[in-house]
Amino acid sequence: MKVLLMSLLKNSSYILTLLSLFGFLLTWQRSAFSLFFLIPIFLTLFWEFFLFLKLRKNIIKEATLIKGSLFYRISMGDFYLYIFSFFLAIFGLVSLFLNFLNLEKIDFVFIFIILPLLMIFLKKELHLQFIDNAYNDFRIVVIASFFTALFYAFYGLFFTYNELLNLELFSRKIIAYKSASFVYFDFLSEFLHFVSNLKFFIFSYFGYLGFRALNFIFDFFNFFMFCSLLAFVFNFVLKIKIKIIVLFLCFIMVLGNYFLKEQRNNALKSEQEQILLWMNNFNFLKDNNLSLIQKEKDLFEKDLKDLREIFKKNAFEIGIWWFSKEKEDLEKRINESLK
């Protein structure tokens, strides 16, 4: 009875973690209380990191230290591993959180279908090669994340069309970020959406081929880091006996998210207008030679001084000046400036 109860609690914790992941992704735009869904994810990351670090420490200790020695006894405790795991879990949770705010619908297919399928496949195929422990789980996490990120980058290269962005297109694209009712989530989503489009805007300066190549490289490395952290969560969840439950819930999540209507901002905000103004000024300075601008400024000041001198003349002097070469030169410079 006790064994059955423990098994039930373990399986419940696996499902709870997975449902917490779904809960945050489905509610962060609508409620600040979605933050509570991140608690089980943090605890999962903490536990997975701790198991890996502890096993790694024991392997190194057994290979390098003599049993019963002073350093061997000192390294018996796990306090510093708890501290290190805690900070790693915080870093991992923040990284996952920021990526969650910027996910597109197609991304759900890769993280909830392809990634867990690859992990199940690798665990099944490599169980005769690797001992089932946290250290070898790390290898499976890296391999599964690598191929998921590679598939994602190739999909973006061949099936996603990201056009080269000029300032006008950029100003239109930054408007439609995922809005949220919680002001801090809304700000972070706006910022991440802006940075994502700024990346495309900068890459556009390298031409079409450079744009595609840089996008491929960036997508691969960014998604690899994201999947590596998420794979630790799935590594915990997939310890459940009936793994088909996880795949079924993931499929329902992807399907539900596909039909879920996203909340998008639809108007240019004041801070976006200010940023666009700065970028427009920067483009103007880039497209015009600064020394030429300074030269035109000096000529403009000279013309104003000449006009000021004219106002000091009497009617007779103005009449003489009107037919002089000085007047013709001034008129010519003003016409050139107006052009």
Mean pLDDT of 194-199: 88
Domain-terminating residue out of 284, 312, 328 = 284
pLDDT at 225: 96
pLDDT band at 233 (very low <50, low <70, confident <90, very high): very high
Domain-terminating residue out of 264, 284, 304 = 284
DSSP assignments along 197-209, one per residue: HHHHHHHGGGHHH
Are residues 263 and 221 located together in one domain of the fold? yes
Are residues 20 and 78 located together in one domain of the fold? yes
pLDDT at 124: 86
> d(Cα 138, Cα 133) in Å, to the nearest integer?
9
Are residues 295 and 278 located together in one domain of the fold? no
pLDDT band at 259 (very low <50, low <70, confident <90, very high): confident
> d(Cα 273, Cα 276) in Å, to the nearest integer?
5
Contact in structure between 229 and 96 (CB atoms under 8 Å): yes
b/e string for 167-205 if b means 16 or more Cβ within 10 A? eeebbebbbebbbbebeebbebbbebbbeebbbbbebbe
Are residues 131 and 44 located together in one domain of the fold? yes
Q: How many domains does the chain have?
A: 2
Which range is least confidently modeled, 131-140, 207-216, 224-233, 293-302? 293-302
pTM for the full predicted model: 0.78
At 147, is the secondary structure helix, strand, or coil? helix
Domain-terminating residue out of 243, 264, 284 = 284
Q: Domain containing 157: what range?
A: 2-284
Q: What is the tens place of the pLDDT at every residue in 53-106?
A: 988 887 777 776 677 666 666 667 788 889 999 999 999 999 999 999 999 999
Q: What does the block give as tokens for 84?
A: 């290190």
Are residues 217 and 299 located together in one domain of the fold? no
At 178, is the secondary structure helix, strand, or coil? strand
Are residues 280 and 296 located together in one domain of the fold? no
Are residues 302 and 251 located together in one domain of the fold? no
At 68, is the secondary structure helix, strand, or coil? coil
Q: What is the tens place of the pLDDT at every residue in 164-187?
A: 777 777 777 788 889 898 899 999
Are residues 209 and 325 located together in one domain of the fold? no
Are residues 65 and 212 located together in one domain of the fold? yes
> d(Cα 28, Cα 43) in Å, to the nearest integer?
19
Are residues 273 and 303 located together in one domain of the fold? no
Are residues 194 and 322 located together in one domain of the fold? no
Are residues 46 and 170 located together in one domain of the fold? yes
